[in-house]
Amino acid sequence: MLNKIKKIISKKNKSKIICLTAYSKNFAEEIDKYVDIILVGDSLGSVLYNYDTTRKVSLKNMIEHSRSVRMGIKKSLMVVDMPYQTYRNRKEALSNAKKIIKETKCEAVKLEGGIKIAKIIQHLINNRIPVMGHLGVLPQSVKGKFKSKGKTEKEKIKLLKDSKLLENIGAFAIVLECVQTSTSKLITRSIKIPTIGIGSSVYCDGQVLVTDDLLGLNKTNIRFVKKFIDLKKVVNQGVKKFKKEVLSKKFPTKKYSY
């Protein structure tokens, strides 16, 4: 566990950190070959269950999907999001974090927020629970449309203070979501732990995306999402071919029959 985390920290200013989400063994098995971190994100709420907010994702949801993901990972650091209202106080947070790690065999958890939850994060770290921070847009706290952060001087100062606070209490990395370019650049240069951006510019130490988004499986117009391949087209081609061969009685042949 600690060796994997040290490896991530050592990439700061040397090599970009690659992070993607996974919610099942099959996806985890494939992306594990290429990434440094696999995040079981509470984004699974919208991706898999069509929830309109990550607040609807339960601890049970996260643990069940994380168990599946764990089976597909050989080398990557596995991080699991702590869902909404599972870390409202130190006692609750520690109990749930221990449950996540015990039942999923992940190496770390991720929590959203800065100074408001600093004592909770500190308590987890004091109890040997590795924590990844998350600043900028906080999906568990957002009501309505997402708005980028760090545009005003006030927001910039707050984000910088929160970043340094998370570093000082022992977080090993921080996700910066939708943070304005100059602010994310400033934060990345001001702290010694890695920043992992999503919609927060090339200046972050690494990048994370929802795997289903980059594969073109989700319909989304979010600015930071780039579709690297149209997997829906590939799926359609395969299914059409299957249908055609079944209708024409070309499948199954003796090769595929007992």
141 and 70 within one domain: yes
215 and 112 within one domain: yes
Three-state secondary structure call for residue 202: coil
Catalytic residue, candidates 107, 112, 167, 177: 177
At 67 the pLDDT is 98
134 and 40 within one domain: yes
Q: Count the domains in the chain.
A: 2
86 and 203 within one domain: yes
244 and 119 within one domain: no
238 and 124 within one domain: no
- Within 10 A of 126 (CB to CB), how many other CB atoms are there? 12
238 and 195 within one domain: no
60 and 32 within one domain: yes
Q: Is 155 a catalytic residue?
A: no
199 and 115 within one domain: yes
Which range of residues forms the domain containing residue 104? Answer: 2-227
120 and 27 within one domain: yes
pLDDT digits (tens, 9 = 90+) for 128-183: 999 999 999 999 998 777 889 999 999 999 999 999 999 999 999 999 999 999 99
242 and 145 within one domain: no
* CATH number of the structural domain spanning residue 101: 3.20.20.60
Closest-CA residue to 85 (of 146, 140, 46): 140
pLDDT digits (tens, 9 = 90+) for 35-46: 999 999 999 999
203 and 114 within one domain: yes
Mean pLDDT per block of 10 residues along the chain (258 residues) reads 92 97 98 98 96 96 98 98 98 98 98 98 98 97 86 97 98 98 98 98 97 92 90 97 98 96
pTM: 0.96
CA distances to 55, 243, 258 from 251, rounded to whole Å, are 45, 9, 13
At 221 the pLDDT is 80
In our burial notation (b when 16+ CB lie closer than 10 A, e otherwise), range 58-87 reads ebebbbebbebbbebbeebbbbbbbbbebb
